[in-house]
Structure 1
């Protein structure tokens, strides 16, 4: 695995999180997304981010990982900038599909990037509902790759699902 991470330190407590740069890098988002699609056995997912400049590349890589997960041909609804409530509402509106929210916090020098994964009911993924499997797949370098170009999914911008408040 190129640019390995300490999976036990980064994938825990109901989230994927680490300081950037350092504990986490943008490639982790691709890995997490591909593994999440496979663990969820889903062909549809909703994704949102907080609009932070660092989050942008993590978001782009997450989207790419999700649509390239094995044979799932995952259709990704990109909500753009949204908060957790808006994400969960959009997940329900799309037919109770899994989702992810990416965010960055911290001061100017030390940033923490967080990826929160949600099941189809809008509940955060826990150790027992798939987070442990995602961590195990990444730790074992078993990140799923597409089987062929026909299995590749698609990204659709769905900012219309995010209510402005």
Structure 2
């Protein structure tokens, strides 16, 4: 694995989170997305992020990882900037699909990590809109990443697509 992470420290408490730079890097978003597609057997997914510039690159990498997961051909609906309520609404509008919300907070503002960087957080949701927990996939995801079992596409025909779906982000 290039640029490994401490998966036990970063994948815990129902989320993927770490200080950036340092504990987490953009490649982790790709890994998490590919593993989440396989674990959830997702053919479609909604992904959103906050407005932070660091989150935008993690979001881009997450979407690319989701469309490159083995043979699943996941269709990613990229919502752009949205909050949790907007993401959950879009997931329902898409017919009950899994989703992910990526956010960044300054580590000096209670996000943890210290050192003046940012805390990047990826939250995963199942098709019913419930947060993914240890028992519903987080433990398996952590194990896949820790053992370098990141799924890759079997061929170009197995890849999914990313579609911009800002139209699904409504004011609630």
TM-score bucket (shorter structure): over 0.9
* Aligned pairs, number: 165
SS in 1 for 2:47: strand
Paired residue for 2:56?
A: 56
By how many angstroms is 1:42 displaced? Answer: 1.1
Q: Deviations over 1:107-132 (max 9, x none)?
A: 49220000000000001000000011
By how many angstroms is 1:164 displaced? Answer: 3.5
Q: 2:142 aligns with which of 130, 135, 146?
A: 135
Unaligned runs of 5+ in 2: 109-114
By how many angstroms is 1:51 displaced? Answer: 1.3
By how many angstroms is 1:140 displaced? Answer: 0.4
SS in 1 for 2:123: strand
Paired residue for 2:112?
A: none
Q: 2:132 aligns with which of 125, 129, 144?
A: 125
Unaligned runs of 5+ in 1: none
Kept in 1: contact 2:98–2:129 (CA 8 A): yes
Paired residue for 2:165?
A: 158
Paired residue for 1:22?
A: 22
SS in 2 for 1:46: strand
TM-score by length of 2: 0.94
* Cα distance between partner residues in 1 of 2:57 and 2:166: 18
Paired residue for 1:116?
A: 123
1:73 is the counterpart of 2:73: yes
